[in-house]
Every structure is written in C-alpha cells, then in structure tokens.
Structure 1
Amino acid sequence: MRHRIAGAAAVAAVVVVAAGTLTGCGGDEPEAAPSRTVLVPGRPGEPNKTRVAGPSRAPLPTPAEVRFVQMMIPHHAQALEMSKLAPERASDQRVRSLASRIDAAQKVEIAAMRSWLEHNSEAVLKAYGKNHGGHHTGMPGMATAEQLKQLREARGTAFDRLYLNLMITHHQGALTMVKDVLDRGTNVTVQELARDVQSTQLAEIGRMRGLLAKG
C-alpha cells in the first residue's frame, strides 16, 4: 500500500510540473517592464540626453528547440503505445505500476507540448518554413515495428523483460535528444522541459535496470 501511495504521489508531482512548465506557453517568459524615459549623461561639455527605454521582445525559440518539442511528441506517443499493453500482459505489479506512471506523465507532457507549438507558430515557421510538420525520421531509441509486434504478442515474464529492455532503450534515446537541445536555446520553457525529461527518465532507467536485475 505504501508503494502504491508513493507511486501516485510521484505521478501527481510529474503532472503538476509538466502542467506548470508548459501550459502557460505564450507567457512563459517574464513580462517586460513598460516603456519609460531615462536620462543619459552627456560627455564632458555636452548636454544630457533623454531616450525611451522600452521592453525588448524575447527572442524566438531556436530551431533546435522547436525540433526537440516536435520530435518529443511522437517519441512520447510510442512510450504510451508500449505502456498501454502492460495492464493485461505484465505479470509483475511493479512493471504495471511503472507503465502506469509513464502513461500518466507523458500524456500530460504531450498535451502541453502541442499547446506550446500552437503558441509558438512563428518559431515553427522560422524553423521549417512552410513545412510545419518538420522531419522526425531517425529518432533515437524508437522501437521498430517488429519489436512492437513482439511486445504485443508477449505475456507474463517475457512481456516484463521485453517491455523493460525496450523502454530503457527508448528513454536513452530521449536523453540523447535532451543532450542535443540543452543550452542550445534561450526559451525558458523548453530548457526546463528538457531538464525535467532528463531527471525523470534517468531515474526511471535506474528503476527498470533494478527490476531486470531482480528478475
């Protein structure tokens, strides 16, 4: 019972973080101060001058940040596809619990990332021109069609081991994507999302390896 409560609390924490990090979208940068007139001292012998100091527009998210968000959506979607099989096929309650956490947290993140893209259409257009969808081929860590078929056909302990191994590889792929985007942009939201993905999935990889070791 204690484990179940802890798991539920962890999921709730992830959901709150994701919602708080991304759902603001258009307002994720601090609001600029209103314009004002300031006095600029002149050089010796010259009169002082005045100028208007106004808010500067926050820079657009970089193409690397746009691609990260766009690619992370289908990457998360495959994790959901794998995790929804666990309730009926996994034999280990710990595997079912892990799959449930992944499903709950990544559904929230997908919705938030889609909202972020809608609110940053100018950056998307700049990154891809008229091809808003971008290109998502070759994402690291993605399971192949054959591996997904094997997972759908597996049951019991065979499912548990295959699910854990595939998900470890999947998470490692996400960490590669995070490494590529971290510090390659200025958008607070995307940088926070990347670090959240990094910390969460590193922890889950450790837990999954522990489950495999215990057999």
Structure 2
Amino acid sequence: MRNTRTSLIRRTALAVAALTSALVLTACGGGSDSASSSHHTGDSASASAPASAPSSAGTHNAQDVAFVQGMIPHHQQALEMARLAADRASSAQVKELAARIEKAQDPEIRTMSGWLKSWNEKVPSSGSSMGSMPGMDHSSGSGMSGMSGMMDPKDMTMLEKSSGKHFDTMFLTMMVQHHEGAVKMAGTEKAQGAYGPATSMAEDIIKGQTAEITEMKKLLGKA
C-alpha cells in the first residue's frame, strides 16, 4: 500500500514538473516572438522615417551654382545702370524705377553671395570676368561675353555719357533687354534648380522683372 502511494506521488510530481516546464518554455517562446516582432516593427519604422521626412533643405545642384554665379554679376550691372539714373535721368518715373531696382537687387546679391560661401563655391566680385563665370551662353554673341541680357562695355560707356531724355530712352531700352535676360536665367533655374531658396528667388525675379518690363515698355511708348 505504501509503495503504491509512493509511486502515485512520484508520478504526480513528475506530471506537475513536466507541465511547469512546458509553461515556462511557452512563455519564453512568446516573449522572444514578441521581442522579435517589436524589433522588426522598430526597424520598419526606422527605415520608413527617412522616406517620410522632407528632402534636405540644403541640397543644391550644379544649376543652382551656375544660376547664382551668373545672376550676381548680372545684378551688379543692373545696379551700376540704376545708380547712373540719379543724376542723369530727366524723368521722375525713371529715377523712381531705378531706385526700386537698386532696392530689390542689392539685397539679393548679398543673399546669393552667402549661398555660395556656404557651398564653398567662388563668389564673383564686381570686377569678375564674365567669360569665366558658369552658365554663360557664349554662342549667342549678344551682351557681355554672351551672358543673356548683359550690356557690353561700349553700351555702358554710352549710357554713362548720356543725360536727360536721351539717357531715359537709352536706360529704359537697355534695362528691358537686361531684365529679359534675367527672366530667362531665372526660368532655367526654376525648371532645373534643386535649392529651394534659389528657385524661390528665381520665381520672384520672373514676377518682379516681368512687371517692370511692362512698365518700362509703357514709358517707352511701346506698350
């Protein structure tokens, strides 16, 4: 009787131990799966994060550099022309227009120069050779070194030596051509540039200078 009871107790103990082991193994396996699932979920979230994030605001391409390096000397010549109007123009409207051009383009030169410095690119000076700058259309044969809308030295000398109504007419005619060149350059930047602030500036140039072209043509009686 005692042996039967002892045997029963042993069998019960073994059954309990086996059940406990199974529960422990199941719990461990579930924890591992959960951890693995959590780990993979984390990887998936991490992997998808860059895709959902906006592209780098600082990204720029070769077109951005060419646009800025070309537009700086383009603006510098416009400022040179505009500053002549103060004591040479006879029309108050021409003087006011020239002042607006200077007010708009001088800060843009400083902004674009800052971009080039941050990109470790060459910043053109007011005495830079236009032929050495990127983005020049050497095949066009018009303007300074073929840059779209730029005046050559002879044109600038003629403008500097003129005054009164003759200056007004020459200034407006030259500035229309100059603005048309800037709008063309800005259009290329808007279509091909990658740097957000540069493409935004290009859009502003297109809007602002297109409006000024219309204004100048009206002053010339060409509207």
Same fold, judged at TM 0.5 (above): yes
* 1:144 aligns with one of 147, 152, 162: 152
Alpha-carbon distance in structure 2 between the residues aligned to 1:78 and 1:168: 13
Alpha-carbon distance in structure 2 between the residues aligned to 1:144 and 1:185: 28
Alignment match, 1:90: 89
Pick closer, same or farther for the CA change 1:208–1:118 going to 2, 3 Å: same
Alpha-carbon distance in structure 2 between the residues aligned to 1:87 and 1:187: 36
Alignment match, 1:174: 182
Indicate yes or no: 2:195 matched with 1:187: yes
Alpha-carbon distance in structure 1 between the residues aligned to 2:220 and 2:107: 27
Alignment match, 1:81: 80
Alignment match, 1:108: 107
- What RMSD in Å do the two structures reach over aligned CA positions? 2.2
SS of the aligned residue for 2:221 comes to helix
Q: Which structure features the higher share of strand residues?
A: 1
Alignment match, 2:6: none
Alignment match, 1:202: 210
Alignment match, 1:157: 165
Alpha-carbon distance in structure 2 between the residues aligned to 1:104 and 1:191: 20
Larger Rg: 2
- Unmatched tracts of structure 1, length 5 or more: 1-46, 126-132
Identity of aligned residues (%): 37
* Residue type of the alignment partner of 2:103: A
* Residue type of the alignment partner of 1:146: K
* Residue type of the alignment partner of 2:150: M
Deviates more, 1:138-147 or 1:55-64: 55-64
Alignment match, 2:27: none
Alignment match, 2:119: 120
Alpha-carbon distance in structure 2 between the residues aligned to 1:159 and 1:193: 30
Which protein, 1 or 2, shows the higher relative CO under an 8 Å CA cutoff with sep ≥ 6? Answer: 1
Query: What is the total number of aligned residue pairs between the two structures?
Result: 160
Q: Which structure features the higher share of helix residues?
A: 2
TM-score, with structure 1 as normaliser: 0.69
Pick closer, same or farther for the CA change 1:91–1:134 going to 2, 3 Å: closer
Alpha-carbon distance in structure 2 between the residues aligned to 1:173 and 1:70: 15
Alpha-carbon distance in structure 1 between the residues aligned to 2:153 and 2:133: 22
Pick closer, same or farther for the CA change 1:169–1:134 going to 2, 3 Å: closer
* Residue type of the alignment partner of 1:191: T
